[in-house]
Amino acid sequence: MRILVVDDVPDNIRVLSRILTDDGHDISAATNGRQALKLATTCSPDLILLDVMMPDMDGYEVCKRLKAEPKLGSIPVIFITALTDVEDETHGLDLGAVDYISKPFKEAIVRARVRTQLKLKSQYDTLEKMSILDGLTGIPNRRAFDERLDQDWRRSLRSGEPLAMVMIDIDHFKLYNDTYGHLAGDDCLRRVAETLTNGLYRVGDFVGRFGGEEFVCLLSGINTNGLSVVSERLRASIEALQRPHGASSTCPWVTVSVGAAICRPTQEMTPSDLSEAADLQLYTAKQRGRNQVSLTQL
Protein backbone atom coordinates (compact mmCIF):
# COMPACT_ATOMS: atom_id res chain seq x y z
CA MET A 1 0.00 0.00 0.00
CA ARG A 2 1.09 3.61 -0.51
CA ILE A 3 1.76 5.82 2.50
CA LEU A 4 2.37 9.57 2.39
CA VAL A 5 4.81 10.79 5.05
CA VAL A 6 4.69 14.52 5.82
CA ASP A 7 7.34 16.08 8.06
CA ASP A 8 9.48 19.21 7.77
CA VAL A 9 12.47 17.32 9.23
CA PRO A 10 14.13 15.15 6.53
CA ASP A 11 15.66 12.81 9.10
CA ASN A 12 12.20 11.91 10.39
CA ILE A 13 11.07 11.16 6.84
CA ARG A 14 14.08 8.92 6.26
CA VAL A 15 13.49 6.91 9.45
CA LEU A 16 9.76 6.49 8.84
CA SER A 17 10.34 5.61 5.19
CA ARG A 18 12.81 2.88 6.19
CA ILE A 19 10.39 1.40 8.73
CA LEU A 20 7.48 1.36 6.32
CA THR A 21 9.48 0.24 3.28
CA ASP A 22 10.72 -2.75 5.29
CA ASP A 23 7.06 -3.69 5.76
CA GLY A 24 6.54 -3.64 1.98
CA HIS A 25 4.81 -0.27 1.58
CA ASP A 26 5.41 2.32 -1.15
CA ILE A 27 6.35 5.71 0.28
CA SER A 28 5.74 9.26 -0.92
CA ALA A 29 7.12 12.17 1.13
CA ALA A 30 6.42 15.88 1.59
CA THR A 31 8.22 18.45 3.73
CA ASN A 32 5.41 21.02 3.96
CA GLY A 33 1.63 21.23 3.97
CA ARG A 34 1.08 22.53 0.45
CA GLN A 35 3.28 19.84 -1.03
CA ALA A 36 1.39 17.27 1.02
CA LEU A 37 -1.99 18.37 -0.35
CA LYS A 38 -0.68 18.22 -3.91
CA LEU A 39 0.82 14.75 -3.43
CA ALA A 40 -2.33 13.45 -1.76
CA THR A 41 -4.22 14.36 -4.92
CA THR A 42 -1.74 12.86 -7.37
CA CYS A 43 -0.47 9.70 -5.62
CA SER A 44 -3.72 8.59 -3.91
CA PRO A 45 -2.20 7.29 -0.65
CA ASP A 46 -3.91 4.67 1.48
CA LEU A 47 -2.65 6.35 4.67
CA ILE A 48 -1.03 9.66 5.66
CA LEU A 49 1.47 10.12 8.49
CA LEU A 50 1.30 13.83 9.25
CA ASP A 51 3.50 16.02 11.41
CA VAL A 52 1.65 18.78 13.29
CA MET A 53 4.31 21.44 13.80
CA MET A 54 5.33 22.68 10.35
CA PRO A 55 5.99 26.22 9.05
CA ASP A 56 3.45 28.10 6.88
CA MET A 57 0.71 25.46 7.20
CA ASP A 58 0.58 23.19 10.24
CA GLY A 59 -0.67 19.62 10.25
CA TYR A 60 -4.03 20.56 11.71
CA GLU A 61 -4.77 22.83 8.73
CA VAL A 62 -3.56 20.16 6.29
CA CYS A 63 -5.88 17.61 7.89
CA LYS A 64 -8.78 20.06 7.80
CA ARG A 65 -8.28 20.68 4.08
CA LEU A 66 -7.92 16.98 3.32
CA LYS A 67 -11.20 16.18 5.04
CA ALA A 68 -12.96 18.95 3.11
CA GLU A 69 -12.09 17.32 -0.23
CA PRO A 70 -14.53 14.56 -1.31
CA LYS A 71 -11.80 12.52 -3.03
CA LEU A 72 -9.36 12.84 -0.12
CA GLY A 73 -11.61 12.86 2.91
CA SER A 74 -11.65 9.08 3.36
CA ILE A 75 -7.84 8.78 3.55
CA PRO A 76 -6.94 7.95 7.18
CA VAL A 77 -4.54 10.40 8.85
CA ILE A 78 -2.23 9.58 11.74
CA PHE A 79 -0.63 12.58 13.45
CA ILE A 80 3.01 12.14 14.49
CA THR A 81 4.04 14.98 16.76
CA ALA A 82 5.93 16.11 19.84
CA LEU A 83 2.74 17.74 21.19
CA THR A 84 1.50 15.50 23.97
CA ASP A 85 -1.21 17.53 25.71
CA VAL A 86 -4.65 15.94 25.82
CA GLU A 87 -6.09 19.10 24.24
CA ASP A 88 -3.75 18.77 21.25
CA GLU A 89 -4.63 15.12 20.73
CA THR A 90 -8.34 15.80 21.10
CA HIS A 91 -8.13 18.64 18.58
CA GLY A 92 -6.46 16.38 16.04
CA LEU A 93 -9.04 13.63 16.48
CA ASP A 94 -11.87 16.17 16.20
CA LEU A 95 -10.44 17.25 12.83
CA GLY A 96 -10.77 13.67 11.56
CA ALA A 97 -7.45 12.01 12.37
CA VAL A 98 -7.71 8.32 13.24
CA ASP A 99 -4.71 8.07 15.57
CA TYR A 100 -1.92 10.00 17.30
CA ILE A 101 1.72 8.91 17.69
CA SER A 102 4.00 10.89 19.99
CA LYS A 103 7.59 11.84 19.19
CA PRO A 104 10.15 10.53 19.68
CA PHE A 105 8.31 7.64 18.05
CA LYS A 106 9.11 3.98 18.66
CA GLU A 107 9.48 1.71 15.66
CA ALA A 108 7.23 -1.02 17.05
CA ILE A 109 4.47 1.50 17.80
CA VAL A 110 4.64 2.97 14.30
CA ARG A 111 4.43 -0.47 12.71
CA ALA A 112 1.49 -1.55 14.89
CA ARG A 113 -0.53 1.64 14.45
CA VAL A 114 0.05 1.71 10.69
CA ARG A 115 -0.84 -1.98 10.35
CA THR A 116 -4.10 -1.46 12.25
CA GLN A 117 -5.20 1.54 10.22
CA LEU A 118 -4.34 -0.07 6.88
CA LYS A 119 -6.37 -3.13 7.85
CA LEU A 120 -9.34 -0.95 8.76
CA LYS A 121 -8.94 0.99 5.50
CA SER A 122 -8.94 -2.24 3.50
CA GLN A 123 -12.12 -3.40 5.24
CA TYR A 124 -13.75 -0.03 4.62
CA ASP A 125 -12.82 -0.10 0.93
CA THR A 126 -14.27 -3.61 0.59
CA LEU A 127 -17.57 -2.57 2.18
CA GLU A 128 -17.70 0.58 0.06
CA LYS A 129 -17.17 -1.44 -3.11
CA MET A 130 -19.86 -3.93 -2.09
CA SER A 131 -22.32 -1.10 -1.45
CA ILE A 132 -22.17 0.08 -5.09
CA LEU A 133 -22.20 -3.32 -6.80
CA ASP A 134 -25.25 -5.41 -7.58
CA GLY A 135 -25.00 -8.63 -5.60
CA LEU A 136 -26.43 -10.84 -8.37
CA THR A 137 -24.73 -9.57 -11.51
CA GLY A 138 -21.57 -8.01 -10.08
CA ILE A 139 -22.02 -4.79 -12.07
CA PRO A 140 -22.72 -1.33 -10.57
CA ASN A 141 -26.10 -0.94 -8.87
CA ARG A 142 -28.70 1.84 -8.80
CA ARG A 143 -26.78 3.80 -6.15
CA ALA A 144 -23.64 3.72 -8.31
CA PHE A 145 -25.68 4.86 -11.31
CA ASP A 146 -27.16 7.81 -9.43
CA GLU A 147 -23.68 8.93 -8.34
CA ARG A 148 -22.23 8.46 -11.82
CA LEU A 149 -25.08 10.35 -13.49
CA ASP A 150 -24.50 13.31 -11.19
CA GLN A 151 -20.75 13.27 -11.95
CA ASP A 152 -21.17 12.91 -15.71
CA TRP A 153 -23.87 15.59 -15.81
CA ARG A 154 -21.67 18.14 -14.03
CA ARG A 155 -18.71 17.22 -16.24
CA SER A 156 -20.78 17.69 -19.40
CA LEU A 157 -22.07 21.02 -18.10
CA ARG A 158 -18.48 22.21 -17.81
CA SER A 159 -17.21 20.77 -21.08
CA GLY A 160 -20.27 21.31 -23.27
CA GLU A 161 -20.04 17.72 -24.52
CA PRO A 162 -23.15 15.57 -25.09
CA LEU A 163 -24.30 13.02 -22.55
CA ALA A 164 -26.37 9.97 -23.50
CA MET A 165 -28.39 7.46 -21.51
CA VAL A 166 -29.53 4.04 -22.68
CA MET A 167 -32.28 2.17 -20.82
CA ILE A 168 -32.49 -1.58 -21.50
CA ASP A 169 -35.28 -3.93 -20.42
CA ILE A 170 -35.44 -7.71 -20.92
CA ASP A 171 -38.59 -8.50 -22.87
CA HIS A 172 -41.25 -10.66 -21.13
CA PHE A 173 -38.93 -11.44 -18.24
CA LYS A 174 -41.73 -12.35 -15.82
CA LEU A 175 -42.87 -15.02 -18.27
CA TYR A 176 -39.27 -16.23 -18.50
CA ASN A 177 -39.14 -16.67 -14.72
CA ASP A 178 -42.53 -18.36 -14.69
CA THR A 179 -41.46 -20.76 -17.43
CA TYR A 180 -37.88 -21.61 -16.52
CA GLY A 181 -37.72 -20.78 -12.81
CA HIS A 182 -35.98 -18.08 -10.81
CA LEU A 183 -32.58 -19.78 -10.83
CA ALA A 184 -32.61 -19.69 -14.62
CA GLY A 185 -33.87 -16.11 -14.40
CA ASP A 186 -30.93 -15.14 -12.21
CA ASP A 187 -28.53 -16.78 -14.64
CA CYS A 188 -30.19 -14.89 -17.49
CA LEU A 189 -29.69 -11.58 -15.69
CA ARG A 190 -26.02 -12.36 -15.12
CA ARG A 191 -25.52 -13.29 -18.78
CA VAL A 192 -27.24 -10.15 -20.01
CA ALA A 193 -25.17 -7.99 -17.64
CA GLU A 194 -21.95 -9.60 -18.88
CA THR A 195 -22.94 -9.17 -22.52
CA LEU A 196 -23.87 -5.50 -22.08
CA THR A 197 -20.60 -4.83 -20.25
CA ASN A 198 -18.61 -6.44 -23.06
CA GLY A 199 -20.60 -4.44 -25.60
CA LEU A 200 -19.26 -1.07 -24.39
CA TYR A 201 -15.82 -0.58 -25.90
CA ARG A 202 -14.87 2.93 -24.77
CA VAL A 203 -13.02 3.52 -21.51
CA GLY A 204 -15.33 5.49 -19.22
CA ASP A 205 -18.63 4.15 -20.57
CA PHE A 206 -20.90 2.95 -17.75
CA VAL A 207 -23.34 0.06 -17.48
CA GLY A 208 -25.28 -0.82 -14.35
CA ARG A 209 -28.33 -2.67 -13.14
CA PHE A 210 -31.16 -0.19 -12.75
CA GLY A 211 -33.47 -2.63 -11.01
CA GLY A 212 -35.26 -5.91 -11.69
CA GLU A 213 -34.70 -6.83 -15.33
CA GLU A 214 -33.71 -3.28 -16.32
CA PHE A 215 -30.20 -2.03 -17.09
CA VAL A 216 -28.81 1.41 -17.85
CA CYS A 217 -25.79 2.82 -19.70
CA LEU A 218 -24.19 6.27 -19.62
CA LEU A 219 -22.04 7.47 -22.52
CA SER A 220 -20.24 10.82 -22.49
CA GLY A 221 -18.96 12.70 -25.53
CA ILE A 222 -20.89 10.62 -28.05
CA ASN A 223 -22.97 11.95 -30.97
CA THR A 224 -26.42 10.83 -32.09
CA ASN A 225 -25.12 8.53 -34.82
CA GLY A 226 -22.70 6.89 -32.42
CA LEU A 227 -25.44 6.44 -29.84
CA SER A 228 -27.64 4.78 -32.44
CA VAL A 229 -24.88 2.36 -33.38
CA VAL A 230 -24.08 1.46 -29.76
CA SER A 231 -27.74 1.01 -28.83
CA GLU A 232 -28.38 -1.30 -31.76
CA ARG A 233 -25.19 -3.25 -31.05
CA LEU A 234 -26.29 -3.84 -27.46
CA ARG A 235 -29.75 -4.99 -28.58
CA ALA A 236 -28.32 -7.33 -31.21
CA SER A 237 -25.75 -8.78 -28.80
CA ILE A 238 -28.51 -10.04 -26.48
CA GLU A 239 -30.51 -11.58 -29.32
CA ALA A 240 -27.30 -13.19 -30.61
CA LEU A 241 -27.00 -15.15 -27.36
CA GLN A 242 -29.94 -17.23 -28.64
CA ARG A 243 -31.04 -18.00 -25.12
CA PRO A 244 -34.37 -19.83 -25.50
CA HIS A 245 -37.51 -18.03 -24.36
CA GLY A 246 -40.45 -20.22 -25.34
CA ALA A 247 -42.99 -18.00 -23.57
CA SER A 248 -42.05 -14.84 -25.49
CA SER A 249 -44.49 -13.53 -28.08
CA THR A 250 -41.71 -11.39 -29.56
CA CYS A 251 -38.97 -13.90 -30.40
CA PRO A 252 -37.99 -17.49 -29.56
CA TRP A 253 -34.90 -16.07 -27.86
CA VAL A 254 -34.34 -13.68 -24.95
CA THR A 255 -34.42 -10.13 -26.33
CA VAL A 256 -34.31 -6.59 -24.98
CA SER A 257 -36.07 -3.32 -25.70
CA VAL A 258 -33.85 -0.24 -25.75
CA GLY A 259 -34.65 3.42 -25.10
CA ALA A 260 -31.92 6.01 -25.68
CA ALA A 261 -31.72 9.77 -25.19
CA ILE A 262 -28.96 12.30 -25.74
CA CYS A 263 -28.54 15.97 -24.84
CA ARG A 264 -26.07 18.74 -24.17
CA PRO A 265 -26.75 19.60 -20.52
CA THR A 266 -27.56 23.23 -19.72
CA GLN A 267 -28.17 25.09 -16.47
CA GLU A 268 -31.90 25.04 -17.21
CA MET A 269 -31.95 21.23 -17.41
CA THR A 270 -31.62 18.54 -14.74
CA PRO A 271 -30.37 14.94 -14.94
CA SER A 272 -33.95 13.75 -14.51
CA ASP A 273 -34.78 15.31 -17.88
CA LEU A 274 -32.41 12.86 -19.54
CA SER A 275 -33.65 9.93 -17.44
CA GLU A 276 -37.30 10.64 -18.23
CA ALA A 277 -36.53 10.98 -21.94
CA ALA A 278 -34.69 7.63 -22.05
CA ASP A 279 -37.49 5.96 -20.07
CA LEU A 280 -40.09 7.32 -22.49
CA GLN A 281 -38.11 5.95 -25.41
CA LEU A 282 -37.95 2.56 -23.70
CA TYR A 283 -41.75 2.64 -23.36
CA THR A 284 -42.01 3.54 -27.04
CA ALA A 285 -39.78 0.62 -28.06
CA LYS A 286 -42.03 -1.74 -26.09
CA GLN A 287 -45.20 -0.29 -27.57
CA ARG A 288 -43.83 -0.75 -31.08
CA GLY A 289 -43.30 -4.48 -30.56
CA ARG A 290 -40.17 -4.85 -28.38
CA ASN A 291 -36.73 -6.12 -29.42
CA GLN A 292 -35.91 -2.75 -30.96
CA VAL A 293 -34.31 0.63 -30.28
CA SER A 294 -36.11 3.95 -29.89
CA LEU A 295 -33.94 7.09 -29.65
CA THR A 296 -34.46 10.80 -29.15
CA GLN A 297 -32.34 13.93 -28.95
CA LEU A 298 -33.37 16.55 -26.41
CB 52 within 8 A of CB 95: no
User: What are 294's strand-pairing partners?
Assistant: 259
213 belongs to the catalytic site: yes
94 contact partners, CB below 8 Å, separation of at least 6: none
- HEC readout, 43-84: HCCCEEEEECCCCCCCHHHHHHHHHHCCCCCCCCEEEEECCC
| Region class of 118: left (phi > 0), else alpha (psi between -120 and 50), else beta | alpha
CB 173 within 8 A of CB 213: yes
Dist CA 8 CA 51 (whole Å): 8
Angle between helices 10-22 and 107-131 in degrees, nearest 10? 70
Q: Which amino acid is at 128?
A: E
Strand order across the 26-30 sheet: 26-30, 2-6, 47-51, 77-81, 99-102
* Cα dihedral value 260, 265, 267, 268, nearest 10: -30
Q: Which of 128, 161, 213, 214 is catalytic?
A: 213
Catalytic residues: 213
